[in-house]
Amino acid sequence: MKNFTSVSDVEDLQEIIKKALQIKENPLSETEKGKGKTIGLVFLNSSLRTRLSSQIAAQNLGLNVLTLNAAQEAWNLEFADGAVMNGDTVEHIKDAIEVLNQYCGIIAVRCFAGMKSKEDDINENILSQFEKYAKVPVISLESATRHPLQSLADCITITENWNKEQKPKVVLTWAPHIKPIAQAVGNSFAEWMQQMDVDFVITNPEGYDLDKNFTKDTPVIHDQDEALKDADFVYVKNWSSFDEYAAMPEVKESWMLTNEKLANTNEAKVMHCLPVRRNVELSDEVMDGKNSIIYQQAKNRIFSAQAVFSEILDEITEK
Amino acid sequence: MKNFTSVSDVEDLQEIIKKALQIKENPLSETEKGKGKTIGLVFLNSSLRTRLSSQIAAQNLGLNVLTLNAAQEAWNLEFADGAVMNGDTVEHIKDAIEVLNQYCGIIAVRCFAGMKSKEDDINENILSQFEKYAKVPVISLESATRHPLQSLADCITITENWNKEQKPKVVLTWAPHIKPIAQAVGNSFAEWMQQMDVDFVITNPEGYDLDKNFTKDTPVIHDQDEALKDADFVYVKNWSSFDEYAAMPEVKESWMLTNEKLANTNEAKVMHCLPVRRNVELSDEVMDGKNSIIYQQAKNRIFSAQAVFSEILDEITEK
Amino acid sequence: MKNFTSVSDVEDLQEIIKKALQIKENPLSETEKGKGKTIGLVFLNSSLRTRLSSQIAAQNLGLNVLTLNAAQEAWNLEFADGAVMNGDTVEHIKDAIEVLNQYCGIIAVRCFAGMKSKEDDINENILSQFEKYAKVPVISLESATRHPLQSLADCITITENWNKEQKPKVVLTWAPHIKPIAQAVGNSFAEWMQQMDVDFVITNPEGYDLDKNFTKDTPVIHDQDEALKDADFVYVKNWSSFDEYAAMPEVKESWMLTNEKLANTNEAKVMHCLPVRRNVELSDEVMDGKNSIIYQQAKNRIFSAQAVFSEILDEITEK
């Protein structure tokens, strides 16, 4: 694996899930693999799970870890090519990346959607610069349009919770929120589910359809009750409008996931990437109920990251 | 030791002081003990000594260390049970704790008193959630009402500085400050001194008596000169009013510790937990004088933390 | 080496450059040297290269690393001797330093010029307190008037890029900026170049002459074209006025380094300490052009730091 920014970087999804589950059995089986190598974890945005799970994964592999809160600890970054830097920005992203090239064997970066320009976000105006200028492997810790380490953890979690022969029905359901949130987790989950052996549907209100480039042929159902029927897994997540970019068109029905709605499913396991707004996106009773596998999902972030870092290290070592 | 949030978690105080002093002699005697285990240091507030001494202690034990400045690096936390999270808070503390359970073998947390609601503070509205939801040992890095790692370091320091047969007289004296400060250090010191073989008295102005639940039968003297007489140790610390919670009732006498006041003691050693407001809480001449053992106290924070982490690791390993 | 705050701490410049280049060949040749020792990296200001390269260098030597963003993570510091601390400052720098003495075998600190009081800055009002109160070796990560780890990296880089018998001509050229910047990098580079076997000249507009205490007999030329003629190395850097302290006297000519100006040189290699304001200090074409050795310079920050830390460790171990 050369980079890890989307599902298309994964050669064999079942293989990497298997590897992650082996790592979960024995997280310290490769403590020498990263010795003498350095991973730089660059955060342009807040992070709890990604920050901690990436550090643990790297430490388990013997990697040196550099964590950089870019905005607070370093310099205000310029992203525009050719900019005359006579304003607030102090360092161009391409210079920061070139320096990271000199210091790190692997660069991992979190760069959320700005939610201001649809074009900037769909073009991944920040991650694309890492992809362009990095001379070492680049790992996305969530970018404007995708959150692949989360999606891999989601695949691991579904695999752990399904041992029947028939395919599970997996429903990604939109949930309410109080402010415009990026589509990255939804997009990414959709892409990865298309590679899994599952029946996958998406449900969201009118006006909230995700970008077709990610959902492809996935059925999109605007009636939540209908979509949830017989679901085996329900993935809860808010996102703002893609069409009317970053807007929040009014939604009249109640979309918060409750036990009442769950009753309609096949005792579905409930998933969420966290952080979650309790009693807005889903009810306390669901979050704390027996169907939630949300904390297991959070734990699997470690093994998702460790499997990816390990494969990336194979690539570096081969060179 | 299962948790460490107050003196009542210590089975044998003399034993742990002895252990800490052995660690001080040979800090690297247990470098394999924590291998493959992770301690999460969660800071909801500023920290210098606690932050650095905890990191050193953990590194000396071979632990992996995750440091999280929760507010700045992760998400704004919700503390109210059952809250409908449609406001500024992004993640519920119980979800954050459950995730830490998945990632860490030990959780250590700093959560100061909010100084707004007496009830919230005396009920330890944050620490109590860690105690309730953590499935791994919890260590207090100072909470609303106690600072036990500081108090243990204080006990170590007093032990190092006393080799006479009779009990030393230890005086906790209130000191002036410019804004309302929590009672945690004072409360905690009072609790621990009651477990030490010392004559312990507290002196503070009228209106500044600490919570009886911590001071118990400790004599409280409102005349500083009288209290300081023949003292062997003087612990200087400000706190705001407990009765009129977080208020600062006017104090007419001068309570700043000076050499003149020290003359009244039995060449008392002077202690303070730091940070200290020079020439407000105590004078430069005291701080920089030969009686101060304040930096020694700061150093002992390492061995206090390391003794506690080591005992907690015994517990984990036994399981 | 006891401390490292200026070129005068270096006994033999050629020797330490040679050592750094050996480290560059084999960065992991001394991984046991720092074992059981701790370096505290204290940042009072932003940092990218210094932060990361120092961490890598320390890790390569097996040192424990404590990184402290003093203002954000710890307490607001007081710098005035004898201050009555009844204002915004919570901890006196000398107490913070004494605590670092207890915790660290080496203290490294970044403390930029305040750019408000010329006297405070030229007297190094912060670094001088570290030099006064530290009981362990002190390393400057850039102070008010100098940036010695940068300058050593600069010397390493020039050495790597010059294999002719005659001395290279090295030109330090002032560059435009939009706000007042300290003279530290310029001062420091001037001091170190005087110890190198080079022909060194400085060029800057009238009103921007650096402090004579640093530049000594170095020729200062106010005509950039004249200065650049036949240059082998051009070091680009802005600084504000020293005479009219921190002012920015109007400059009528264009001082931004461009390819056109470079044509006048002996195919000079271009250097800059970063971060750089593109198209203000130098043009994109220069930054991204074949003459730039700026990223190599950034990489050499690791080996500059590692050579210094290694020499400091020799000193500690000898004691």
Average the pLDDT over C152-165 and give the result: 97
Q: What is the pLDDT confidence band of residue C71, given thresholds at 50, 70 and 90?
A: confident
Q: What is the pLDDT of residue A71?
A: 86
Asked if the model's pLDDT at residue C162 lies above 90, the reply is yes
**Most A CBs within 10 Å, among C278, C284, C297, C306, to test the A interface:** C278
The helix-helix angle for A49-60 and A294-318 (nearest 10°) equals 50
> For B137-167, how does the pLDDT look when each residue is reduced to its tens digit (9 = 90+)?
999 999 999 999 999 999 999 999 999 999 9
Q: What is the pLDDT confidence band of residue C316, given thresholds at 50, 70 and 90?
A: confident
Chain B residues closer than 8 Å to A287 by CB: 95
CB contact under 8 A, C99 and B302: no
Residues of chain A with pLDDT under 50: none
Task: Give the fold, CATH level 3, of A162-292.
Answer: Rossmann fold (3.40.50)
Task: Give the fold, CATH level 3, of B7-147+301-318.
Answer: Rossmann fold (3.40.50)
Answer yes or no: is the ipTM higher than 0.85. Answer: yes
Q: Binding residue per annotation — A277?
A: yes
- CA B284 to chain C, closest CA, distance in angstroms equals 7
Chain C residues closer than 8 Å to A72 by CB: 69, 72
Domain assignments of chain B as residue spans, ordered by start: 7-147+301-318, 162-292
Yes or no: say if B265 and B227 are a contact pair by the CB < 8 Å rule.
no
**Nearest neighbour of B48 by CB, restricted to C85, C87, C96:** C96
Q: What is the pLDDT of residue A319?
A: 59
- Whether C276 and chain A come into contact, CB under 8 Å, resolves to yes
Interatomic CA distance for residues B311 and B316, integer angstroms: 9
- Whether B72 and chain A come into contact, CB under 8 Å, resolves to yes
Chain A residues closer than 8 Å to B64 by CB: 56, 59
Three-class secondary structure of residue B125 per DSSP: coil
* Domain C162-292 in the same topology as domain C7-147+300-318: yes
**Most B CBs within 10 Å, among C44, C65, C86, C102, to test the B interface:** C102
Residue B85 neighbours by CB under 8 Å, 6+ apart: A277, A278, A279, A280, B78, B92
Yes or no: say if C60 and C22 are a contact pair by the CB < 8 Å rule.
no
Q: What is the pLDDT of residue B71?
A: 86
CB contact under 8 A, A78 and C278: yes
Task: Give the fold, CATH level 3, of C7-147+300-318.
Answer: Rossmann fold (3.40.50)
Q: How far is CA A97 from the centre of its chain?
A: 22
Interatomic CA distance for residues C179 and C177, integer angstroms: 6
**Nearest neighbour of C99 by CB, restricted to B46, B48, B284:** B48
Residues of chain B with pLDDT under 50: none
Q: Binding residue per annotation — A177?
A: yes
